[in-house]
């Protein structure tokens, strides 16, 4: 495989991880707007371990996911007790706060960025995707997966049936953050240079669009959306500079014309 195609595979794998991580959180009916913050945590945590402490990349990626999971549990334990509007606001502010804190942290280069990463491999990227896909397949068939579906369809009825809805949603949100953190760590070692601006509101929007485009009903729909939208800027030259405008317009059109996504059944 040529260096170009290896780079394409890694980019697509990162996009798929981001989409699957967000899909998991959205599978409970919770729509956050700050997953770029968890991506930043994973990117910087993994990079600090490999650059500053010479850790093995595979182990650093796992720990980066764990750090992002802790952040997700902390934010989720507060935000998920509130209404969907407050969840959106809190997670958005959280992502902006993370970017601001990193920009003031000289240990990782501050606003100028952090470099020194040695690169990642196709094997690591595909292994991460494989583990997440297996987890989601098992999750969909588990009691926890059914509980998430029940919460998404009718949280009041789910709570009346005895489900600990808050505990379940916080648990799922933490796992979602972990997957996003792993994606961030792999992305940082692919890019070799990261700045706080790489994890701004536009990045959160792109993550959401992957899922909205593919469809929220099935995780493989979210993965398909990530594959298509991550490949377009690579093979369609003008999108490389205008993707935020084009993707923003696409987001609005989908909300109006096909809110269930390209892959998904419309509700009656």
Give the chain as a 3 state SS string: CCHHHHHHHHHHHHHHHHHHHHHHHHCCCCCCCCHHHHHHHHHHHHHHHHHHCCCCHHHHHHHHHHHHHHHHHHHHHHHCCCCHHHHHHHHHHHHHHHHHHHHCCHHHCHHHCEECCCCCCHHHHHHHHHHHHHHHHHHHCCHHHHHHHHHHHCHHHHHHCCCCHHHHHHHHHHHHHHHHHHHHHHHHHHHCEECHHHHCHHHHHHHHHHHHHHCCCCHHHHHHHHHHHHHHHHHCCCHHHHHHHHHHHHHHHHHHHCCCCCCCCCCC
Domain range for 117: 3-199
Flag whether 88 is in a domain: yes
Flag whether 205 is in a domain: no
CATH of the domain at 191: 1.10.3470.10
Flag whether 265 is in a domain: no
Flag whether 243 is in a domain: no
Flag whether 172 is in a domain: yes
Flag whether 260 is in a domain: no
Full pLDDT tens readout for the chain, 268 residues: 789 899 999 999 999 999 999 999 999 988 889 999 999 999 999 999 999 999 999 999 999 999 999 999 999 998 888 777 788 899 999 999 999 999 999 999 999 999 999 889 999 999 999 999 999 999 988 999 999 989 988 888 998 888 988 899 999 999 999 999 999 999 999 999 999 999 988 899 889 989 988 888 889 889 998 998 898 888 777 666 676 677 777 777 776 766 656 665 555 4
Flag whether 47 is in a domain: yes
Flag whether 241 is in a domain: no
Indicate the number of domains in the chain.
1
pTM for the predicted model, two decimal places: 0.91
């Amino acid at each position: 495989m040529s260096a170009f195609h290896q780079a394409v595979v890694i980019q697509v794998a990162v996009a798929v991880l981001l989409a699957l991580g967000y899909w998991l959180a959205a599978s409970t009916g919770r729509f956050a707007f700050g997953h770029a913050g968890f991506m930043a945590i994973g990117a910087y945590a993994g990079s600090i371990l490999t650059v500053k402490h010479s850790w093995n990349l595979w182990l650093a990626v796992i720990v980066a996911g764990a750090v992002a999971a802790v952040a997700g549990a902390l934010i989720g334990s507060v935000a998920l007790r509130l209404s969907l509007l407050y969840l959106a606001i809190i997670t958005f502010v959280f992502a902006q706060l993370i970017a601001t804190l990193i920009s003031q942290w000289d240990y990782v280069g501050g606003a100028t960025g952090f470099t020194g990463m040695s690169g990642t491999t196709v094997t690591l990227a595909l292994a991460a995707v494989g583990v997440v896909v297996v987890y989601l397949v098992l999750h969909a068939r588990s009691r926890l997966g059914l509980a998430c579906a029940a919460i998404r369809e009718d949280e009041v009825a789910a709570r009346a049936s005895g489900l600990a809805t808050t505990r379940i949603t916080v648990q799922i949100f933490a796992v979602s953050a972990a997957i996003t953190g792993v994606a961030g760590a792999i992305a940082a070692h692919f890019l070799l240079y990261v700045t706080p601006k790489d994890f701004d509101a536009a990045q959160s929007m792109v993550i959401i669009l992957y899922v909205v485009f593919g469809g929220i009903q099935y995780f493989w729909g979210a993965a398909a959306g990530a594959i298509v939208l991550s490949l377009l800027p690579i093979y369609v030259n003008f999108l490389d500079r205008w993707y935020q405008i084009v993707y923003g317009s696409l987001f609005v059109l989908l909300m109006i014309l096909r809110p269930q996504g390209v892959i998904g059944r419309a509700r009656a």
